[in-house]
Amino acid sequence: MRSKVSMPRADSYRIPVISNRHFAFQRGKKRHDRAMLVLLGLTELYLKDGQPIGSNRLKELLFPEMSASTLRNYCADLESLGFLKQQHASGGRFPTNQGLSVYAKEILQNLGTSFSLDLFPLEEQKLIQGFQKALEGELTAELNQESLWGIVPWIERAMHEMVKITGCAIALSIPRFDQDFITDIRLVQIDARRLSVIVITYFGFIRHEMIVLEEALPENWVAIESYLRSKIHSLQSESVLKPEWEHLAKFLYEEISVRFLLSKSRCSKGTILHFGLSQLICKADFCETNTLASAFNLFEEGGKLRDILTYAQARSSISLWIGEQLTELCPKTTGCALVTIPYKLGQVQVGAVALLGPVLLRYRLAFGLLMTFKAAMEHVLLRYVYRYNLDLKPYPISHNRLGHLP
């Protein structure tokens, strides 16, 4: 249902149109709609400025047709229902996690499945348009290279751009590319018997392996690195190996090859990329060590991240967890918000994107950026798959990996 209550539309704010009844008043629908508008308007102001909102400010900026005393009554009702809080009697109010959840769901309902910049205030429109232009510019440059090398670096740069705009952490699941192979090998000596091996693939993935040697590495080990590169490209090595080094070089080549094949087997569900966890350190919601550690654990591939992305891929649209809803995934994450969106290749959902940030997230902007990223990912994958006849293996979708979560 849509509210008939008059609603100011300044360039700085966009209050969602009411679409659901999240609570009820004894006096009926009209009072419900007015209270909803007050909740949504107060939340909009609070997310923009981060300061508790008083009735006079609400009247001045958003509701000039209502008196300050009427607005205070609505706020008191909303507080009694658990949607608002007030730190002290004479101070302004701010939304609880429950109130933020209502606001975010109304934003989602308003945005729907069709993406229109008209639903965003001017500041957010500029940020989304800038993000779109950055993605298009990077994509044009990569496609002009006539190479598959650009697909993963393009995805990584797009994720970094979103991290820069939101200040949040981003994770993304990528389907497996069956045609991927090793294009370069770099060796980094840790000590006399340990090597860090960096493997770079044709699609731009970078893998790290630690190899412990039975014998000490020779001082001139660069010749061994040259030998490995020549082997993967089936070329004659420019460096001449001493007879006593040949056994070590062949061992390294075989070990790296086997580990690469095993990693492809282990990654049969695809690869997960994530960036921006360091950004959370600067957020007030993550100032407590336990909260920060829990957020990090939530985004570790060995934890719940793969299950979250698999679950998100099975959904048809954006999924949202705020505050206490996240504790079912990871304890002590009440100060976090998690937003996910699936993306497709043609009509098949092949992956998902997740954004982890504070509960005081700019939800509408986050939704807009995720929708923009989704559209760009689908365009990129479609172009690469048909241009190079790729065979992609999407994640196997499971609807029950996270139990009864919404």
What average pLDDT values come out for the chain (406 residues) when binned by 10 residues?
A: 40 56 50 88 92 93 91 93 88 93 92 82 93 81 58 86 93 78 88 88 80 81 85 68 81 85 62 85 72 74 76 90 83 82 87 92 95 91 72 55 46
**Chain segment 104-140, per-residue pLDDT in tens:** 999 998 888 767 888 898 999 999 999 999 888 766 6
Provide, rounded to the nearest whole percent, the portion of the chain with pLDDT above 70: 77
Q: Beginning with the edge strand found earlier in the chain, give each strand of the sheet holding 206-212 in spatial order.
A: 182-191, 194-201, 206-212
Q: Domain 182-267, CATH 3.40.50 — does that match?
A: no
Residue 94 · residue 46 · CB < 8 Å: yes
Q: What is residue 215's predicted lDDT score, i.e. its pLDDT?
A: 80
Burial-class residue 1 by CB neighbours within 10 Å (0-12, 13-18, 19+): exposed
Amino acid 32: pLDDT: 80
Would you state the pLDDT for residue 141?
Answer: 64
Amino acid 82: pLDDT: 94
Domain 13-95 has CATH 1.10.10.10: yes
pTM of the model: 0.76
Q: What is the pLDDT of residue 1?
A: 39
**Residue 281: predicted pLDDT:** 78
Write the DSSP symbol of residue 163. H
Q: Any idea where the domains of the chain sit in the sequence?
A: 13-95, 122-176+270-388, 182-267
Q: Give CA–CA dist 359/337, Å, rounded.
A: 5
Whole-number pLDDT of residue 55: 93
Residue-level pLDDT at 388: 64
Could you tell me if 274 and 305 are in contact, meaning their C-beta atoms sit under 8 angstroms apart?
A: yes
Q: Domain 122-176+270-388 adopts which CATH fold?
A: Beta-Lactamase (3.30.450)
Spatial contact of 391 and 350, defined as CB atoms under 8 Å apart: no
